[in-house]
Amino acid sequence: MLLPIISISASGRTVRGFGRDRRGSAAVEFAIVAPVFFALIFAIIETAIVFFAGQVLETAVQDSGRTFFTSTAMSKSAYETAVCDRVKVLMDCTKLRNDVQTYAAGAAFTIADPIDANGKFVDSFSYNPPATTDTTSTVVVRSSYQWPLFVTGLGYNIANINRGGTSQSRLLTATAAFRPQ
């Protein structure tokens, strides 16, 4: 006995014809590929912005350090203003941390990493400029900024502060060293 072929009509089509219909396949394929594509695009954009912000901070510290170099009597607020004026387009100056340290001529010194072993930011920055008559010491100026990250939730993570936590960020740090003349 032969069974009858079931033919259900949906707007003039049969179920059998539905499997062979190729209309809309591009939309389905795009829906499958789109999340990965957009995650990759956003990761590229965020990485570019982080590198750009790091370069802006580096240039600001170099320029402000040069100003400090020519005027060792620069106050803490004047130095912070000099750095802030150069980065305020991208960064919140209240979150910018500045460090000025003076080391004796010829003495070995180390610069502490502002990120501890647990991935937390350690704000141990201070302002210790050289005496106005000191022309032999080495002065190190450093600025750090915690750049917030947004794409880390998509699986791409360049955070180095609170990695895996709720408020992940990338610490941007710029350093310049000189000896006043």
Q: Which two tokens stand for residue 5?
A: 């072929």
Position 48 scores a pLDDT of: 93
146's CB contacts (< 8 A; 6+ apart) are 95, 121, 161, 169, 170, 171, 172
pLDDT per position as a tens digit, 7-66:
555 555 565 655 666 677 888 888 999 988 888 898 899 899 999 999 999 999 999 888
CA pair distance 59, 67, nearest whole angstrom: 12
> Which residue stretches of the chain are H helix?
15-18, 25-70, 76-87
Better-predicted residue by pLDDT, 177 or 15: 177
pLDDT digit string, tens, across residues 70-103: 775 778 888 899 999 999 999 999 999 999 888 8
Q: What is the predicted pLDDT for the residue at 88?
A: 92
In this predicted structure, the answer to whether residue 153 has a pLDDT above a threshold of 70 is no
Range 132-145 average pLDDT: 83
Q: 71-99 burial, b for 16+ CB within 10 Å, e for fewer?
A: ebebeeeebbebbbebbeeebeeeebbbb
For residue 76, the model assigns a pLDDT of 87
Q: pTM for the full model?
A: 0.76
Q: What's CA 100's distance to the chain center, in Å?
A: 23
180 near 139, Cβ under 8 Å?
A: yes
The predicted structure's pLDDT at residue 5: 56
Which pLDDT band holds residue 115 (cuts at 50, 70, 90)?
A: confident
For residue 121, list its beta bridge partners. 115
